[in-house]
Every structure is written in C-alpha cells, then in structure tokens.
Copies of this chain bind each other. A is one copy, B any other.
Amino acid sequence: MNDALRKPAPPTRTLEDSPLYAIVNPKSIVMFGASNKYTAMGTSVLSSLQGLGFEGPIYPVHPREETVLGLPVYRSVEELPETPDLAIIVLPTPIVIETLEACGKRGIRHAIVVSAGFGEAGGDGLALQEQLKETAARHGIRFLGPNCIGGVNPHHKFNATFLPCGQTPSFIGMASQSGSFITQMFAYLERFGLGFSTGFSVGNEANIDIVDCMEYLAACPNTKVIGLYIESIRRGRDFIDAARSIVPHKPIVAYYVGGSEGGRRAGLSHTGALAGPDRIYDGVFRQSGVVRAGSIEELFDYCWALGTCPPPRGNRVLIQTHSGGPGAVAADACDRAGLKLLPLSEATRERLAPYVPHTASINNPIDLTFSKRAMDYMDVLPKVVLEDENSDAVLMYLMMPKRSVLRAMDAMGITGETAEKEADSYIDHQGRKMAKVMLAAEKPFIGFSFYTGENRFIKGLYDAGAPVFPSPTRAARALGALVRYARLREKLAGNEI
C-alpha cells in the first residue's frame, strides 16, 4: 500500500478542549433578544432551537414579557436558576456589551453574538468591537461573532440560526465568513441528501476565528470533510499550520471569494476584512494542502465526493455510460479537470464483450447504448469495470425513468396499481443495490445524472449515501478534487518525514 494513503493519527487535542465545544454542544442556554414579536431575529433563533428539538433548558431573558414561545422569562441573567453553558445575544448594538458583562459576572464562559454594528460598520463600530473583546477577555468568555448568524449542530439537536434546519445529521463540517452559507445551504444540501455535521458562522471573528473552527472540526468525530467559505484569512501562519496538521487525516475544501476586485470590495463592506490577491491565496491553499473550489456549488460538490469516496491512487478514470453525449461531456470535463482516460485493459475488454451490443463501444467511455439488457448495466458491468487495472476511479451515468420500468412490467403482464407499486419497489431495490456497490468500492465510484431528488431512483441513491452529481461536468470536477486531495496529502506526508 502506498505510504501516503495510510492514515496518520489524528491530532491529540480533544474536542472538549476547543472553545467551540460548549458553543455547539451546550447543555443549557440563556437567550437574549427573543420576544413575542415574531419578526424579531432573536425570536427566530429561539424558534429554530425549539424546532430542531434542543433537549436542554433554554432561559429567555426579557425586560417585559412573561413567557416567550411558551418558555418562562427571566428579567436578568442574575435570576437564572443555573449558570448556562451558552449565551446567545441578539440585541440592539448599544446594549450588547453590558449584556456580555452581566453574563461574565454570572460565570457564563461561552457566547454567540449575533448583533451587528461592530467592526464591519467601521467608525464607532470599531471601538465598540474592541470594548466587546476586552469585556470577554476580562471574564474569560469565548464567543462567536459579532455580526454572525450562529451555529448549527444537528447531532446535538442544536440550531441557533434564524432559519429552520430539518435535515438529518450529516458529515460536512463548515466554517463560514458568511452566515448565508450556513442557513441558505440547509435546503440546498438537503436536495442531495446532504447536510452539516456542524456549521459555524464566524461573523467578524472578534474572538473565535475560522482557524479555531478548523481545529474543532478536525477533532469532531461526525465531520468527514471540512468546508470553508473565506473572504479573508486573519491569522495566515496559524491557518497554514492548522491545515497542514489536519489535511493528512481529514480533507479541507475552501472557496475564497476575495481574489477579484469585485469580491474584495464586497467582502470589505460585509465583514470589514481585507482580502489579498488571488495568487497569494492560491499559494496559501497549496502550501496548506487545502483543495480550492471555484464556487459555492463546487465547494459542496467537493465536500460530497471527499466525504464519501476513498482517495484515488492516481488520475486515471473509467467512464461507464449508455448515452454517448453524457459520456463525451464527462470525458471532456475529465480532461479539463486533469484526469486521464486510458484504453481499457485487455482483460476488461474480454470480460465486457458478452454484455455489449454491436452498436456499443468498448472504449473508454464504455458506451452500452440503448441496451435490451438494461440490467447488465447496473449489475454485471460495474463489478467488471471496478476491477479494470487501467483506472483509479469510475464515473457512471445513472438514470432509471419510472416509465421505462413500467414498460418492462407491462411486458411481463403487470399493470395498473400493482405495476406502480412493483415499479417503485423495483426502483428502490436497484437504488440500494447500486449504492452498495458504489460505497463498497475501493476506488472512488461516482455517479452522474441530469435527474436529481425528484426522481425516485436518484433519491434512493442519495438516501443510501451514494454520491451522484447532477451533471457530468460536476462529477468530473469533483473527481478532480479527489485526485488533488490525494496528491496534496501525499505531498504533506512527504514533507513531514
């Protein structure tokens, strides 16, 4: 086995050591800014916490309300029956600091400051942010924000963002300098059966920054891959050191937006961060072993592939299709993503011959065309294809329109409601079987389709955890990211010796 593919031991720092542990795994929470005004952001946050079924006590503090969303209200943090693990502050800017001060006095050591109007606003905001930091430091408080939308840890039934998160716990650990790339991704990821293990919106990073998040996510057992949305890195050296220690055992994907003039200026007014030129960040990522993505879709596509596939041993890919166009597009996209398509080995060609009709191609892509033996495509072929010695990964075109299955049923004399039921159960069975082959493979085995979750077969593959990208181009680029990760990891391993 290639030395570089052996997993080095994970870092010894434990999850509980992280300042973020109590922030996304609190036993109890004090909530500032929730009221019975349903349009207030604080109310939304409380409602999200309740919506995901947070199991510990939540103590709303409010000067006038008696109850908030059914919970008894306290007039001040002093009155609480216990010292909560976490304070969530969604208050007007002028009273944030005195509130954090009161929390500190009460012994609270962790906070999420959602309120804006600090560093990102410039002017007086800069001084206010300094005061906020000083207050926290005096009491030993670690906090996320200000100007953030909190965090989410579905494994702990914890959602402190202002949007509901219905998803089941998943494996993507995310730290984002934009809250939208946490909350706006709930529905987006769910569409592919994906979600977050833990997601952090870091806001202005006045106390806890993206490097702290990376270290937490590196130690988090639910996180298989770390995604970063970056407008600017504040601790460059620490970022590189952290990434280099994480990458050998867990992949990191980053989307950096500040590299263009437009992105830089937008970032500046968003979180007040000063971005650097593209090529400097390119160098930082390369040196750190971080896989760079070119868009939000790519960021999550790469996370999907890296969280579900083993690292490939090389860049040789085999494409299986029954449709020439999608095969050609996949081949073209592979080429552009730095992947190679070699001819099939003689052994593979011989093993495939009995299954391939005369109109088909035993080249690479293997194109089965419109076959009368459609079952071979999902059954025998993938097994043969996986054993081809000339390839390090497989890309496979996947579709199973229900109409085709119903037609086959009809040919067997099965019609009406029975056919509908049988077709569904057949499709579900095929999806589970296919997913099993894909997930058990020792090489990356990635599917692609133009269908997504609205199609029962593809939904079944998602539900079983198989990576099926919504286009050949996206699948090829995700496989390219797998190869890049394997190489970066190898390089880092080499440097460490």
Contact = CB atoms under 8 A, between A and B. Distances in A.
Given A121-B359, A331-B265, A407 B325 contact: no
A180 B410 CA distance: 24
Interface stretch (A192-200, A213-221, A363-371, A481-489): A363-371
Contact of A270 (B267, B324, B333, B450): B324
A425 interface: no
Contacts of A162: 370
B44 A407 contact: yes
Chain B CB count within 10 A is highest, among A39, A121, A259, A332, for A332
B187 A450 contact: yes
B471 A295 contact: yes
A39 B262 contact: no
A249 interface: no
A257 B471 CA distance: 14
A41 B319 CA distance: 24
A201 to B, nearest CB: 9
Contacts of A191: 452, 454
A184 B257 CA distance: 33
A207 interface: no
A188 to B, nearest CB: 5
A219 to B, nearest CB: 26
A269 interface: yes
How many copies of this chain are found per oligomer?
2
B39 A332 contact: no
Contacts of A333: 295
Interface stretch (A129-137, A303-311, A334-342): A334-342
A345 interface: no
Nearest to A51: B403
Nearest to A118: B359
A229 interface: yes
A472 interface: yes
Interface in A228-263: 229, 231, 255, 257-263
Interface in A405-425: 407-408, 410-411
A151 to B, nearest CB: 15
Interface in A168-204: 176-181, 184-185, 187-188, 191
A334 B262 contact: yes
Nearest to A269: B361
A116 B367 CA distance: 13
Nearest to A149: B370
Interface string A375-402: 0000000000000000000000001010
A407 to B, nearest CB: 4
A21 interface: no
Contacts of A265: 331, 341, 363-364
A178 B324 contact: yes
B411 A257 contact: no
Interface string A259-302: 11111011101110000000000000000000000111100000
B269 A363 contact: yes
25 contacts: A116-B370, A117-B359, A163-B401, A177-B325, A180-B325, A184-B450, A187-B450, A188-B451, A231-B328, A259-B332, A260-B332, A262-B334, A263-B328, A263-B329, A265-B341, A265-B363, A267-B324, A269-B324, A269-B365, A270-B327, A270-B328, A270-B361, A295-B329, A295-B333, A297-B473
